[in-house]
Amino acid sequence: MQDIYNVLKKHKQEHVLKFIDELNPSQSTELLQQLEQIDFDELDNLIDEYVMQEPEIKIPADLEPAPFFPLKAKDARQEELYTQAIAKGRELLQEGKVTALTVAGGQGTRLGFDAPKGTYPITPVKKKSLFQYFAESILRAGSKYGHELTWYIMTSGLNNEATRKFFEENNYFGLNPENVIFFTQGTMPAVDYNGKLLLSDKDSLALSPDGHGGTLLALRRSGCLDRMKSDGVEYISYFQVDNPLVSVVDPLFIGLHALQESDMSAVMLAKTEPFEKLGNFCVSNNKLMIIEYSDLPENLAKARNADGSLKFIAGSPAIHVLNHKFVSELTKAGHLKLPWHRADKKIKFINDNAELITPEKPNGVKLESFIFDALQLAGKTMVLEAAREEEFAPTKNKTGVDSVESCREMLIERDAKRLERVGVKIPRDADGKAAVKIEISPLAVIDDDDARSYCQTENIRKIDTKMDNIYLT
Ligand code: UTP
Instruction: Write the DSSP symbol of residue 197.
Output: B
pLDDT in tens, 401-427: 999 999 999 999 999 999 999 999 999
Position in ligand 1 atom list of the atom nearest CA 105: 25
- 75 falls within a domain: yes
pLDDT higher than 90, residue 55: no
CB 109 near ligand 1, within 6 Å: yes
Q: Are residues 386 and 415 in the same domain?
A: no
- 150 falls within a domain: yes
Contacts for 75 with CB less than 8 Å, ≥ 6 apart = none
Q: Are residues 252 and 129 in the same domain?
A: yes
pLDDT higher than 90, residue 467: no
- How many domains in the chain? 2
Instruction: Write the DSSP symbol of residue 188.
Output: E
pLDDT in tens, 166-197: 999 999 999 999 999 999 999 999 999 999 99
pLDDT at residue 421, as a whole number: 98
More confident position, 58 or 211: 211
How much is the average pLDDT of 349-375? 97
Position in ligand 1 atom list of the atom nearest CA 397: 13
Position in ligand 1 atom list of the atom nearest CA 215: 25
Q: Are residues 390 and 412 in the same domain?
A: no
Q: Are residues 65 and 199 in the same domain?
A: yes
The residue whose CA is least distant from atom 22 of ligand 1 is 106
CATH at 60: 3.90.550.10
Q: Are residues 87 and 203 in the same domain?
A: yes
Q: Are residues 473 and 378 in the same domain?
A: no
How much is the average pLDDT of 469-473? 96
The residue whose CA is least distant from atom 9 of ligand 1 is 108
CB 212 near ligand 1, within 6 Å: yes
CB 154 near ligand 1, within 6 Å: yes
Q: Are residues 321 and 433 in the same domain?
A: no
Band of the pLDDT at 392, cuts 50, 70, 90?
A: very high
CA of 104 to the centre of ligand 1 (A): 7
pLDDT at residue 466, as a whole number: 86
End-of-domain residue from the set 355, 378, 396: 396
CB 279 near ligand 1, within 6 Å: no
Band of the pLDDT at 337, cuts 50, 70, 90?
A: confident
The residue whose CA is least distant from atom 23 of ligand 1 is 106
Range of the domain at 284: 38-396
pLDDT in tens, 132-143: 999 999 999 999
Assess contact for 142 and 94: CB atoms under 8 A. Answer: no
pLDDT in tens, 273-317: 999 999 999 999 999 999 999 999 999 999 999 999 999 999 999
Q: What is the dihedral angle through the alpha carbons of 208, 213, 216, 217, rounded to the nearest 10 degrees? A: -40
Strand locations in 346-396, DSSP E? 349-350, 356-357, 364-368, 381-385
When the pLDDT of each residue in the chain is averaged and rounded to a whole number, the result is 97
pLDDT higher than 90, residue 398: yes
The residue whose CA is least distant from atom 25 of ligand 1 is 105
- 18 falls within a domain: no
Half-sphere exposure of 153 (CA within 13 A, CB side): 31
End-of-domain residue from the set 396, 426, 451: 396
End-of-domain residue from the set 396, 418, 447: 396
